[in-house]
A = this chain, B = another copy of it.
Amino acid sequence: MKIVQLEELRHFDPAKMRKNNIFESPRFACDLYCLEPGQSQIPHTHEGLDKVYVVLEGEGTFRVGSDESALEAGEAVMAEAGEVHGVANEGPDRLVCLVFLAPHPAPS
């Protein structure tokens, strides 16, 4: 039984948004996204793959489809397969999100 403490995976990269994997299988991936102020995930699309973002800390500007909205800790949003999505941390605080993808994204 592998117990993960999210705090131990809360790693940032000064160069770009960092994705820290928590768990994965062929059916899904569960990551902890850590964004310093000013960092972002460029809007993109996955065919046949859904993504859920749950904000754990800070505030982020999320885009899903043609909508854009600020989410803070305790808020969640889903990007369905084929919907363009991304997130930006416009600061001033660090942003930490729990992210679920299903199925597992193809290796890049």
Binding site for B on A (CB under 8 A): 1-7, 22-23, 25, 27-28, 30, 49-50, 52, 54, 62, 64-65, 67-69, 71, 74-78, 80-81, 98, 100, 102-103
Contacts and interface: CB of A to CB of B under 8 A. Distances in A.
Contacts of A81: 25, 27
**Chain A binding site: helix, strand, loop or mixed by DSSP?**
strand
B103 A6 contact: no
Contact of A6 (B6, B25, B76, B100): B76
A45 to B, nearest CB: 15
Contacts of A23: 50, 52, 76, 78
Nearest to A54: B98
